[in-house]
Amino acid sequence: MRLRTKYSSEITENDYNKNVVVAGWVQDVRKLGSISFIQLRDRDGIIQVTALKKENPEMLKKLTGVPRESVISVEGVVKENKEAKAGFEVIPRDVKIINSAKTPLPIGVVDKVDTDFETRLNHRFMDLRKPEAQAVFKLRHTLLKAVREELVSEGFVEIHTPKIVATATEGGTNLFPVQYFEKKAFLNQSPQLYKQMMMATGLDRVFEVGPAFRAEEHDTIRHLNEFTSIDMEMAFADEEDVMKILEKVIQKMISMVNNENKKELSILNIKIPVPETPFKRVNYSECVELIKSKNIGVTDGEDFSMEATKALAEELKGFYFITSWPTKTKPFYVQPFENNPEICRAFDLMYDEKEVTSGAQRVHDANLLKERMKDQGLSPENFRYYLESFEYGMPPHAGWGLGVERMLTILTNAKNIRECVLFPRDRRRLIP
Ligand code: AMO
């Protein structure tokens, strides 16, 4: 017997009175005298398997005794049944109990009781059997597909850069050290330096989807210590050029989710309209004025507090860019404005009060880059391998980095970013 010939979603009226083999997890068994109803769950939905004593008493006994969440495969005939949720049921001829589940279950899959989030994460494999937990990852899949499709159509080449590195990119304090034979190395915080080095190769447009590691001590509903970053870098471009591409990427993500994830959107009970472009662009100084007008404390020249960002979000709903940041709030690689070096060509893409992406036009002049490093207390000597690529023909370039989990949190209205990653890594969690 084959283990599966059809998913629940593939069974149609054409299969009525025909043989199929279906397989999955026993979600529920209900015995009503001489008849048993088994709810068999597969990736796409639920199939009712109806065992009748008069047809096969042994089979009825076998199925009724299967513990919930066991894996079984059922060969049987599809019968129309208006009372079954799917409009049909399968009358079993042969059943294989492939793998019996232990009892009791560590967490319920269909029970109405709310399991606390920590317990869900402790038993994540089982938590992900719930359609609403799984739906998030189907959206995630579509998001990544959309990014690839959009960037590839714009002529970008997908690359992979090392995750074990010798230097910090986003500031030195939040690095995870690793022992690299006799040397000290780090897990990369961002592909920043490597994607920029690609601009000196002539590849011109590159992107990477990969892990980024941040040893941030704070434990919040927005931060992970390991997240997935979508990074792009584009040569002969300025910040406005890459903002335009970002707008297209965001639109593509949302329209593709709307087209391909109708079922998941309904499971999660969410609607996501495709945002109109261009997104609003508000510069840093305008933001300071807005925040001040709400009587919230803000120091001109510094990054915004949570409270300040919330105040902004009251005025600026949905997606908007904050541009022209004070140079000292941004990393050394961001290009200061030529006529006013106190501010720089950096932008953040926000959604309400949440930051989704940051990006900038970069410094491409090696001497200025060294100056910028020194201004930030960094030693150019430690960045020789990076600086060298700026000394033999480096075009102007710009790019951005977008956190997949942040984007997914926004789309799904998740209360906690950990809902959007399979196995979160945070201050206290290293397993599973
Ligand atoms: P930045 O540090 O702002 O910029 O990160 C880019 C985007 O990554 C996401 N992100 C995170 N997501 C979850 N947990 C975290 N701890 C976390 N930290 C960051 C956010 C953020 O907007 N090299 C630059 C990008 C560039 O200029 O190209 C960078 O890493 O969505």
Domains along the chain? 8-99 (2.40.50.140), 127-420 (3.30.930.10)
- pLDDT of residue 78 exceeding 90: yes
Q: Whose CA is nearest to atom 4 of ligand 1?
A: 358
- DSSP, collapsed to helix, strand or coil, labels residue 113 as coil
Whether the per-residue pLDDT at 112 is higher than 90: the answer is: no
Mean of the per-residue pLDDT values for the chain? 96
358-376: per-residue pLDDT in tens? 999 999 999 999 999 999 9
Question: Residues 242, 247, 253, 256: is their CA dihedral positive or negative?
Answer: negative
Confidence of residue 167 (pLDDT cuts 50, 70, 90): confident
Tokens of 321: 């860019």
Indicate if ligand 1 lies below 6 Å from the C-beta of 223: yes
CA-angle at 370, arms to 366 and 373, nearest 5°: 135
Provide the pLDDT for residue 362: 98
Examine the residue annotation and report whether 140 is marked as an active-site residue of this protein.
no
Res 114: pLDDT: 82
Q: Is the CB of 214 under 6 A from ligand 1?
A: yes
pLDDT at 233 over 90: yes
What is the rounded average pLDDT of the residues 132-153? Answer: 98
The Å distance, Cα 85 to ligand 1 centre, comes to: 44
Ligand 1 in contact with 224 (CB < 6 A)? yes
Is 214 an annotated catalytic residue? yes
Which residues lie below 8 Å from residue 172, measured CB to CB, with a gap of 6+?
Answer: 378
8 Å CB contact between 37 and 50: yes
Residue nearest ligand 1's atom 28 by CA: 400
The three-point CA angle 11-13-17 to 5° equals: 90
In short, whether 76's Cβ falls inside 6 Å of ligand 1 is no
CA of 403 to the centre of ligand 1 (A): 6
The pLDDT tens digits for 310-357 are: 999 999 999 999 999 999 999 999 999 999 999 999 999 999 999 999
252 touches ligand 1 (CB under 6 Å): no
Find out whether the beta carbon of 227 lies less than 6 Å from any atom of ligand 1: yes
What's the CA gap between 61 and 65, in Å, rounded? Answer: 6
How large a percentage of the chain has pLDDT more than 70?
99
Q: For the segment 398-410, what is each residue's pLDDT rounded down to a tens digit? A: 999 999 999 999 9
Name the residue with the closest Cα to ligand 1, atom 29.
401
In short, whether 356's Cβ falls inside 6 Å of ligand 1 is yes
- Report the nearest atom of ligand 1 relative to the CA of 195: 28
* Structure confidence at residue 171 (pLDDT): 67
**Among 227, 242, 329, which is best to mutate for testing ligand 1, by the most ligand atoms less than 8 A from CB?**
227
C-alpha 171 – ligand 1 centre gap (Å): 12
The single-letter code of the amino acid at 170 is E
Rounded to whole angstroms, how far apart are CA atoms 70 and 429?
Answer: 28
397 tagged catalytic: no
| pLDDT, mean of residues 42-54 | 95
Tell me if residue 223 is catalytic: yes
41 catalytic, yes or no? no
- Specify the range with the lowest mean pLDDT, choosing from 53-62, 240-249, 333-342: 53-62
- The residue from 55, 170, 355, 371 that is catalytic is 355
Which pLDDT does position 172 carry in this prediction?
63
Name the closest-CA residue to atom 16, ligand 1: 223
**Confidence (pTM):** 0.96
The dihedral through the CA atoms of 211, 216, 219, 221 has a sign that is negative
pLDDT over 80 (residue 173): no
SS3 helix, strand, coil % of the chain, rounded to 5?
Answer: 35, 30, 40
Q: Which atom of ligand 1 is nearest to the CA of 214?
A: 16
Give the position, in ligand 1's atom list, of the atom nearest the Cα of 406: 31
Distance 409 CA to ligand 1 centre (A): 14
| Residue 208 CB neighbours (<10 A) | 21
Q: Which residues pair with 149 in a beta bridge?
A: none
Question: In the predicted model, is pLDDT for residue 379 greater than 70?
Answer: yes
Partners of 399 in beta bridges: 233, 360
129: pLDDT confidence band, cut at 50, 70 and 90?
very high
| Catalytic residue chosen out of the listed positions 372, 397, 406, 418 | 406
Q: What's the pLDDT band for 218 if we cut at 50, 70, 90? A: confident
* Helix/strand/coil (H/E/C) assignment for every residue in 181-195: CCEEEEECCCCHHHH
192-212 pLDDT, tens digit per residue, is 999 999 999 999 999 999 999
Residue 183 to residue 163: CA distance in whole angstroms: 15
